[in-house]
Chain A
Amino acid sequence: MPWGVIFFYLIATVSILSAIGVVAARNPVHSSIFLVLCFLNVAGIFVMLGAEFLAVIQVIVYTGAILVLVLFVLMLVNPDELPSFTDAQPLQRYLGLLLGAVLLLEVGAAIITRTALEGVGEATPENVAAVGGNVHAVGRVLFSDYLLAFEVISIVLTVGILGAIVLAAPERLGEKLATRRGTISLSHTRGTDAELPVGPRGETPIKTDPNRRPPRPEAPRRVIKVTDPDERTTIGGTRR
């Protein structure tokens, strides 16, 4: 068997296994690690097909996207409140299985009709080399045949970004921007920086509220008694 085929099956196996891992992993962060692994392997298949540009773009775009996903998981998901695998309704399960099977059939049908009925497409290695490599090939197609779709997608993405800003921004965005000096602060709580008085230099600093007390903890913290210095750590994987 030629090396190309062996590597293809290796990459394909790992990408399918990691795709299964995405849905099978209990921990959302583990799921996203599997997702990264899957996308990296798909990028490997792109490289084997001679589409280096797609491979690199796949890695740049999706690793960034999954990084954001990991951040959402870390910030929003409480690992103790995840639904269990087994408490789905029977209807949900069978419907899921049915929809999955339909999707698989659709993809299979698309591949078969494409290869068996229409033969090889236009992007053969010779045609791609003729226009000067796959960066040029993708660029030419994207900015000539699919220019309208490209621009529409750009507008949709811009609208999405604006929507995110409107949703995340404080209610009085205009006022804030008018009163704010310097940079947008991520470290202040919302609304505090607009109320800071801006005086001339050399003025006495703002006085804190004399009645303000630090909040009391509601319950005393649990004290961990440690008798051995190595008790809370593991060494080489085995707990002492």
Chain B
Amino acid sequence: MDQPIWITFIVAFVILNVLLISMAYMTWFERKVLAAMQDRLGPTRTGWHGLGQPIADAVKLLGKEDLVPAGADKIVFRFAPVIVFVAALLSAAVIPFGGTIELFGQEVNLFITDLNVGALFILAVGAAGVYGIILGAWSSANRYSLLGGLRSAAQVISYEIVLGLSLVGIFILTGSLSLLDILERQAETIALGPLEIPNWFILSQPLAFILFIIAVVAETNRAPFDLPEAETELVAGFHTEYSGFRFSLYFLGEYINMIVASLFAATLFLGGPNGPGSDEYWGLGLLWLFLKALIFLFFYVWLRGTIPRFRFDQLMGIAWKVLLPLALANIIITAFIRLVANGEVF
């Protein structure tokens, strides 16, 4: 498990760059899938099937003028997008992309760090990322921005509770908050008659899975929960006043959050890199993880293409009156079953 720190730095560097590139191609993927759903073609001009479009977009964004409104709180205005971006990247630090492998005669961990509170770490960093939104909104000195920021704060505080509580069932079943332990637990198989099925938590925690997916879409401010940037009523919400590179930091942060959330969901509920042949070849494990994450990323785009935005009061009502009681019920049921299975009651 232990490796020299320079290998960790190399792994972190690779993961960082892969995240940034996959973020760029996530925008391409989203536009293509949305276009297919709406019977359009999507980007086609830049490169083969429009594959050069993300690069063209990035260059365009970098070349744009960096505007700061006259009434803005200048330091906070400049710093806020960085918080969103850094928080999004930081949460990728605990995602395991596989176990320990042998590469060029060196033992290499396919993860940056294994915190024993890994799952909570992602929640904590996500909570810190909201500051980028609310501070950016406040410092713009724009009413639309401020309204977007206030909505975002209310939404994230409400849905973070649901998100955290939906994970408790998994913690009860695993007995650990470390993502590696959670993966290890899911690598086991359950014999169901002649059938051997993997012990993925989507099977034993279906309710938690549904709650998690709903809450995570709300956490990442995506449709149908994209109230903070509802364009029909708030221009562009919290990033109305941002342009050029600072806007692109918000944009990067949102998409990296989506990717990390998908990886997180795949790790928690679908067994992460676990799949046929993943024990022998680590590359196959990476492929499985990628495909599993792609399911969730497609789901994000699917939601955006098909479901209209909620009204704000509906959004809060769902979180507090539907999802929260369900999450608590799930915890109680899971804990009870665990006690019965351990023979501590009856």
Contact = CB atoms under 8 A, between A and B. Distances in A.
Nearest to B157: A64
Nearest to B320: A184
A148 interface: no
Contact of B120 (A56, A70, A239): A56
B146 A74 contact: yes
B317 A183 contact: yes
A185 B110 CA distance: 48
A21 interface: no
A183 B321 contact: yes
Nearest to B115: A52
A59 B313 contact: no
Contact of A134 (B116, B123, B150): B116
B67 interface: yes
A237 interface: yes
Contacts of A133: 116, 176
A33 B130 CA distance: 12
A60 B125 CA distance: 8
Given A33-B135, A184-B317, A135 B116 contact: yes
B12 interface: no
B1 interface: no
Contacts of A183: 313-314, 316-317, 321
A235 B146 contact: no
A232 interface: yes
A29 B164 CA distance: 27
Contacts of A29: 73, 76, 135, 138
B120 to A, nearest CB: 4
Which of the four size classes fits the interface of chain A?
Answer: 35 or more
B153 interface: yes
Contact of A187 (B69, B73, B127, B313): B313
Given A185-B313, A187-B311, A56 B121 contact: yes
Interface string A172-197: 00000000001111110000000000
B124 interface: yes
Which of the four size classes fits the interface of chain B?
Answer: 35 or more
B68 A237 contact: yes
Interface string A40-76: 1000000000001101110110011001101100100
Nearest to B164: A60
Q: Is the interface of A mostly helix, strand, loop or mixed?
A: helix
Interface string A5-19: 000000000000000
A187 B131 contact: no
A235 B74 CA distance: 11
A235 B134 contact: no
A27 B176 CA distance: 42
Contacts of B176: 133, 135
Residue among B76, B124, B138 with the highest chain A CB neighbour number at 10 A: B124
A234 B317 contact: no
A60 B123 contact: yes
Contacts of B117: 52-53, 55-56, 135
A113 B150 CA distance: 46
A52 B119 CA distance: 12
Interface string A71-84: 10010000000000
B127 to A, nearest CB: 5
B216 interface: no
Contact of A60 (B127, B153, B177, B321): B127
A124 B103 CA distance: 37
Interface in B44-67: 65-67
Interface of B: 65-70, 73-74, 76, 115-117, 120-121, 123-125, 127-128, 130-131, 134-135, 138, 146, 150, 153-154, 157, 160, 164, 176-177, 311-314, 316-317, 321
9 residue pairs, one from A and one from B, having the closest CB atoms? A183-B317, A59-B124, A56-B120, A185-B313, A63-B127, A56-B124, A186-B313, A60-B124, A56-B117
Interface of A: 27, 29-30, 33, 36, 40, 52-53, 55-57, 59-60, 63-64, 67-68, 70-71, 74, 133-135, 182-187, 232-237, 239
Given A67-B130, A236-B66, 13 more contacts: A27-B73, A33-B135, A40-B128, A53-B120, A56-B124, A59-B124, A67-B127, A68-B157, A133-B116, A135-B116, A186-B313, A186-B316, A233-B70
